[in-house]
Amino acid sequence: MKLERIVLEPIGVVRSPLRDRAEAPNQGSEGAPDATIELSPGLRDGLRGIEAGDELVVVTWLHRSDRSVLQTHPRGDRSLPLTGVFKTRSPDRPNPLGLHRVTVRELDGAVLKVGPLEAIDGTPVVDLKVALRGPAGP
Amino acid sequence: MKLERIVLEPIGVVRSPLRDRAEAPNQGSEGAPDATIELSPGLRDGLRGIEAGDELVVVTWLHRSDRSVLQTHPRGDRSLPLTGVFKTRSPDRPNPLGLHRVTVRELDGAVLKVGPLEAIDGTPVVDLKVALRGPAGP
């Protein structure tokens, strides 16, 4: 299998009151705060049309993750059976990409306020997409 | 803003009857066929517990995309207003990651049959995650 390496350029960064993984809930819907995404100013045109109330998927790079992990107890609950990371949402996985469905609170230039978002302060953002409605999601 | 480059190692590849972008529907739910994901054999442990009927999010690298595009007409429909790519699902965007919600049809070793999937043959796969139910998705 010929598989070439892929280089991502972060498009921005998360600014959040959450400072480390221990503080962060497993999912945004589990009590995460609002956060700010500072987009690279040169990519501002890519936000055209985004407004308060829009539902987006934020794709992050979970930079504090362990890329060597292949199996885990879901949600860190050791009473649950050891499960392949590809059947979980664990941040520890070979390519630790995070998917976060958020609501846009406010857009000011290249700064997007969104929430709730469980990613910690300093997390690189690699993509934003409109969320799809219904079972055709994500 | 200090933003370091990120290197992804593909975890596998899509095998599909779809051979080029012109043939592929915009979303899997719009008539895409089933496809096969050939996972790197060394990552097989990461599939533990996956079975037919599971709903997964496949994250791909849309390798035929134009990374310089920041605005587009959604769904290629020129009657729709020019929109920032971060408010669309266009494959053309700075980091062309694809998100595809699929159902597992069959797992055989490191080969996963899933569907429907609109990614074309040869598309690198970079992550798999369990799909979340309801509005907390993706």
Q: Are B49 and A87 within 8 A, CB to CB?
A: yes
Q: What is the pLDDT of residue A136?
A: 42
Contact B30, A54 (CB under 8 A): no
**Which amino acid belongs to residue B32?**
A
Q: What is the mean pLDDT of residues A26-51?
A: 95
Asked if A130 is an interface residue toward chain B (Cβ–Cβ < 8 A), one would say yes
Q: Who's near B43: CB < 8 A, 6+ residues apart?
A: A70, A94, B11, B12, B110
In terms of Cβ atoms closer than 10 Å to its own Cβ (0-12, 13-18, 19+), residue B45 is: middle
Q: What is the pLDDT of residue A132?
A: 87
- Which pLDDT tens digit goes with each residue over B8-47? 999 999 999 999 988 899 888 888 999 999 999 999 999 9
Contact A126, A7 (CB under 8 A): no
CA distance B112 to B47: 9
Q: State the DSSP H helix or E strand holding residue A106, giving kind and residue range, or none if neither.
A: strand A97-108
Q: What is the largest CA-CA distance in chain A?
A: 48
* A 72-111 near B (Cβ less than 8 A): 81-89, 93-95, 97, 99, 101
CA distance B124 to A36: 31
CA distance A99 to chain B (A): 7
pTM of the entire predicted model: 0.94
Decide if pLDDT at A106 tops 90.
yes
The owner of tokens 């996963």 is B112
CA distance B51 to B53: 6
Half-sphere exposure of A87 (CA within 13 A, CB side): 24
Q: Are A137 and B101 within 8 A, CB to CB?
A: yes
Chain A residues with CB under 8 Å of B59 CB are 95, 97, 99
Q: What is the mean pLDDT of residues B75-86?
A: 94
Of B48, B85, B138, the CB nearest to A83: B48
ipTM above 0.90, yes or no: yes
Q: Which two tokens stand for residue A125?
A: 């953002």
Chain A residue at shortest CA distance from B8? A6
Contact A129, B88 (CB under 8 A): yes
Q: Which band of pLDDT confidence, cut at 50, 70 and 90, is reported for residue B137? A: very low
Q: Which band of pLDDT confidence, cut at 50, 70 and 90, is reported for residue B136? A: very low
**% of chain B surpassing 70 pLDDT:** 94
Mean pLDDT for chain B?
Answer: 93
- If phi > 0 it is left, if psi is from -120 to 50 it is alpha, else beta; for residue B76 that is left
B5, B39, B86: which to substitute to probe chain A, counting the most A Cβ within 10 Å? Answer: B86
Q: Are B127 and A12 within 8 A, CB to CB?
A: no
Chain B residues with CB under 8 Å of A28 CB are 136
Chain A residues with CB under 8 Å of B89 CB are 129-130, 132
Of A56, A87, A131, the CB nearest to B50: A87
Q: Which two tokens stand for residue B118?
A: 């609109």
Residue A1: C-alpha distances to residues A50, A59, B12, B30, B100 (Å)? 40, 27, 8, 29, 22
Chain A residues with CB under 8 Å of B13 CB are 1, 3
